[in-house]
Amino acid sequence: MTTRVGVVTFPGSLDERDAQRAVKLAGAEPVALWHGDKSLRQVDAVILPGGFSYGDYLRCGAIARFSPVMETIIEEARAGLPVLGICNGFQMLCESHLLPGALTRNDHLHFICRDQRLRVENADTAWTRDYAEGDEITVPLKNGEGGYVADERTLDELEAEGRVVFRYLGGNPNGSRRDIAGVTNAAGNVVGLMPHPEHAVEALTGPTTDGLAFFTSVTTSVLRKLVA
């Protein structure tokens, strides 16, 4: 059977087609989900794509978090559904309190688009199983509000529990605390990161194909769960 991965479109979503393409290239089936529908159409996993939901004129992701589809996603994520938030999706996951911390304006105050090196710190989440801990990957980064912040105690906890999933290498691009690029919840099914793995799945259009393993990892995770 093919893993069905839902990709949500919010008003202002921009990278949903890219996420769908990445899912397809990884051998899974992309399923379009709409912000106004509560139904997840029986998908095995969900991606919250990048973009500027509702224009992000308020705090990024703050309005999207209250959309009907998010009610179901929050509930299902707590029950173990694999959920990946990329960029704006990461911001939504923080606003939903599925992940700790928040994303603030880049410390240099500019939008930045660049090919970003990352180190995989945790290869034991639903979305990183096909990596090895310590792998170095390069995927595009593009955002204006990507500075990851949390209080010191939370940061210590994240570190102690191995919940920092990715760290920036070769220079911190936005002032994120402890160079954190992505984190996971305690169960490892919800992952959020600012860089865009869905833009690094084809040699023709991306800097690398390093991002593809996100989308194969989730199939591995879903199958493993079925077997278990």
Q: Which is nearer to another protein, 58 or 223 (CB)?
A: 58
Q: State the catalytic residue, choosing from 16, 87, 121, 145.
A: 87
Minimum distance between the CB of residue 118 and another protein, rounded to whole angstroms? 16
Q: Which is nearer to another protein, 117 or 199 (CB)?
A: 199
CA distance 53 to 187: 27
Minimum distance between the CB of residue 5 and another protein, rounded to whole angstroms? 16
Minimum distance between the CB of residue 39 and another protein, rounded to whole angstroms? 16
Minimum distance between the CB of residue 34 and another protein, rounded to whole angstroms? 9
Q: Which is nearer to another protein, 36 or 80 (CB)?
A: 36
Tokens coding 170: 């070769």
Q: Which is nearer to another protein, 117 or 163 (CB)?
A: 117
Question: Residues in the site for another protein, rule: CB under 8 A?
Answer: 11-12, 14-15, 17-18, 21, 50-52, 54-57, 108, 110-114, 140, 142, 144, 196, 198-199, 202, 204-206
Other C-beta atoms lying within 10 Å of the C-beta of residue 6: 26
Q: Which is nearer to another protein, 41 or 57 (CB)?
A: 57
Minimum distance between the CB of residue 228 and another protein, rounded to whole angstroms? 34
Backbone angles phi, psi at 141, to 5 degrees: -120, 135
Does 87 qualify as catalytic in the annotation?
yes
Give one DSSP letter per residue of the chain, joined into a string. Answer: -PPEEEEEE-TTB-SHHHHHHHHHHTT-EEEEEETT----TT-SEEEE--B-GGGG-SSTTTTGGGSHHHHHHHHHHHTT--EEEETHHHHHHHHTTSSSSEEE--TT-S-EEEEEEEEE----STTTTTS-TT-EEEEEEEESS-EEE--HHHHHHHHHTT-EEEEEESS-SS--GGGEEEEE-TTSSEEEESS-GGGSS-TTTSS-STTHHHHHHHHHHHHHHHH-
Tokens coding 35: 């912000």
Q: Which active-site residues does the annotation give? A: 87, 196, 198
